[in-house]
Amino acid sequence: MLASMPGAGYISEAYDLYVGEDRPERKTAILALFKERHHKYTQGLMSRLMLKEGGKYVLSTNIEVADGLTNGAPCVLKHILWGKLDSDKSLVPLRLYVEFEHVSIGAETRS
């Protein structure tokens, strides 16, 4: 569906960190393992996501249940804020601005 929409799309790659003490080779191996895991094993988080302004999306995990920011909440991607990573200066999406189907979704979080 996104591929048929006009305009440029972007495949966003997850930027994962391993926090804590461990051997460098073990950290590298664990991060590589999660890159290829199916999203059902990563709490709904995907390692690659096609982004296109105007595209329809749903939240894939519960963020704030009492505020309606739940798994399956429909939204439209309105804007992508781009920036550069310190590590290699590549241009990446830093923040996504979405509009939810119902104004009540996320109202507490936005206030």
Q: For every one of its 111 residues, what pLDDT tens digit does the chain have, with 9 covering 90 and above? A: 777 888 788 888 877 778 888 898 998 888 888 777 777 777 667 778 899 999 999 998 899 999 999 999 999 999 999 998 777 778 889 899 999 999 999 999 999
∠ CA 101-38-24, nearest 5°, is 115
Q: What pLDDT does residue 35 have?
A: 75
pLDDT value for 44: 67
Characterize 55-71 residue by residue with b for buried, 16 or more Cβ atoms within 10 angstroms of its Cβ, and e for exposed.
bebebbeeeeeebbbee
For the chain, the domains span 7-110
